[in-house]
Amino acid sequence: MSRALGLVVIGSVGIQTSSAVASGLFDPIGPMAVSSLRMSIAAVLLCLVFRPRLRGRSRSEWAGVLGYGIAMAAMNICLYSAIDRIPLGIAVTLEFLGPCAVALFTSRRVREGLCALAALAGVVLISGPGGYFNAAGFAFGLGAAFFFALYTLAAERVGKSDEGLSGLALSTVVAAVVSLPFGVGAAASVTGHQWLVLAISAVIGVAIPYAVDTVAARVSSARVIGTLFSMDPVVGSLIGLLLLHQAIGTAALLGIALVVVSGASIVWMSEPAEPDAAAAAG
């Protein structure tokens, strides 16, 4: 698990940092266009590095690639649209509810239900009086949660295939194509400096994090990876404070802590420990 932990930490820091950096382009370009254009850049880079093959793939492999790519595109668009309206740490906390929900729905034990209630209490603290509720922001955050759940499952499927990183490159192409309508109209007005920011965001926020997530899923499992994703809200809150100066109130911080601890517990307890060699390698 230590290897998977290190990989997920790298991915989390990269994603949250790139989100903070890219948020500076939301006003001139728009969050959906930013998500789309950086995904296109990342797709080109990953294909140049891994040179994925198109022939000889089974229907199952293509289904995994398509599912991973669609989840990736939708998750990014929803998350960036949420970050445009609510603090980074809050948006990422809502997004983390996705893996928690998957784990909860596959389990019928009382203790997971109690953890779910605690996570819900955390969301109430975040959005309550003096909190950070924004209807559109929360809607996009919950949309990101839904697609983050699909992303977690798809990462394991693609990661454990014979050509995990090659499959990732193709999935990123799918994500770029799916999100292209949101970015193609803005591309002509993007300045040289803005392209540089998008390129940096694509490298540290897509190419590197998604590669390490895929490798982490290969050496571990969706259950372990979903638990490790619980650090995302904490990292997002810290990055939001350091780079965007988004100070979060005491009640909201307590809410984030409740969601993180409860969500990680739900994911971890939802399945029995896996004694197989792949999990042991993590």
Residue 108 pLDDT = 63
Whether the model clears a pTM of 0.75, i.e. scores above it, the answer is yes
- Asked if residue 24 lies in contact with residue 80, where contact means CB atoms within 8 angstroms, the answer is no
Say what the pLDDT of residue 173 is: 96
Determine the pLDDT at residue 222.
65
Q: What is the pLDDT of residue 131?
A: 66
Alpha-carbon Rg for the chain, nearest whole angstrom, is: 18
DSSP 8-state secondary structure symbol assigned to residue 274? -
With a CB cutoff of 8 Å and minimum separation 6, the contacts of 173 are 43, 47, 69
Two structure tokens written together for 158: 């693609």
Number of domains in the chain: 1
pLDDT of residue 275: 43
Instruction: Supply the pLDDT for residue 130.
Output: 60
Q: What is the pLDDT of residue 212?
A: 84
pLDDT of residue 267: 67
- Please provide residue 146's backbone torsions phi and psi, each rounded to the nearest 5 degrees: -60, -45
What pLDDT score was predicted for residue 85? Answer: 93
Number of helices (H) and strands (E), helices first, in the chain?
A: 14, 0
Structure confidence at residue 107 (pLDDT) = 65
Q: What is the pLDDT of residue 274?
A: 47
Helix (H, G, I), strand (E, B) or coil at 149: helix
Q: What is the pLDDT of residue 164?
A: 62
Q: Among residues 179, 189, 171, which one has the least CA distance to residue 78? A: 179
Domain containing residue 268: 2-281
10-residue stretch averages of pLDDT, the chain, 282 residues long: 73 90 93 96 94 84 89 94 92 85 69 76 73 87 92 74 76 95 93 96 91 76 70 86 86 84 74 43 36
Whole-angstrom CA distances from 59 to 54, 55, 84 are: 12, 11, 38
Distance CA 120, CA 123 (A): 5
pLDDT of residue 226: 67
**CA within 13 Å, CB half, 81:** 21
Closest CA to 101 of 229, 231, 241, 202: 229
